């Protein structure tokens, strides 16, 4: 018996593959296998609870190593999570890693050590080389109070490093 696949089936399969690839990259960054130690420290403990093409929802317990001297979640750690989760949402609908060309964060409140937060990223658009994402962080320990909103614009990086010439 031969199974026929439609273009729609193939498209769904490719979308699923791209989503899994983007989640694997986020996992690699969070575990320190990819990227920098600062990113890994800021993302350690991040749990993806829902993932679709262009959308990510994560839970995170604010660790003590990501806090400032007052016990608040450090603004730099918040920015790192917004950048990484937002980039993952974009990468889940694009076929290449992009570079950030504009990154804005509005801080509304903070979270304390051991409070649970929810991070939600939605890719807003993907037109040619440009993509945008909106990331919201809410304090789940405090009735969903808004902590920060990040907007990120990314562009395809078409730069190719020079290849060594073949030697004869």
Per-residue pLDDT of the chain (168 residues; tens, 9 = 90+): 455 545 555 555 666 777 888 888 888 888 888 778 888 888 899 999 999 989 999 999 999 999 999 999 999 999 999 999 998 998 888 767 778 889 999 999 999 999 999 999 999 987 778 889 999 999 998 889 999 999 999 888 765 544 455 555
Q: Report d(CA 56, CA 122) in Å as an integer.
A: 7
102-129: pLDDT as tens digits: 999 999 999 999 999 999 999 998 777 8
Task: Give me the domains of the chain, ranges plus CATH numbers.
Answer: 11-156 (3.10.129.10)
Report the length, in residues, of the chain.
168
b/e 137-160 (16+ beta carbons within 10 angstroms → b): bbbeebeeeebbbbbbbbeeeeee
The pLDDT score that the predictor gives to residue 122 is 96
The pLDDT score that the predictor gives to residue 8 is 53
């Amino acid at each position: 018996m031969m199974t026929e696949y439609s273009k729609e089936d193939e498209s769904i399969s490719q979308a699923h593959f791209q989503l899994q690839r983007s989640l694997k990259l986020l996992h690699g960054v969070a575990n320190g296998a990819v990227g920098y130690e600062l990113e890994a420290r800021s993302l350690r403990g991040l749990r993806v609870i829902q993932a679709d093409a262009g959308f990510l929802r994560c839970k995170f317990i604010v660790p003590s190593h990501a806090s400032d001297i007052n016990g608040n979640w450090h603004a730099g750690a918040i920015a790192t999570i917004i950048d990484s989760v937002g980039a993952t949402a974009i990468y889940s609908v694009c076929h290449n890693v992009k570079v950030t060309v504009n990154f804005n964060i509005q801080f509304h409140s903070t979270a304390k050590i051991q409070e649970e937060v929810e991070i939600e990223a939605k890719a807003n658009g993907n037109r040619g080389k440009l993509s945008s994402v909106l990331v919201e962080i809410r304090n789940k320990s405090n009735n969903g109070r808004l902590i920060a909103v990040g907007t990120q614009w990314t562009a395809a990086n078409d730069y190719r490093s020079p290849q060594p010439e073949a030697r004869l």
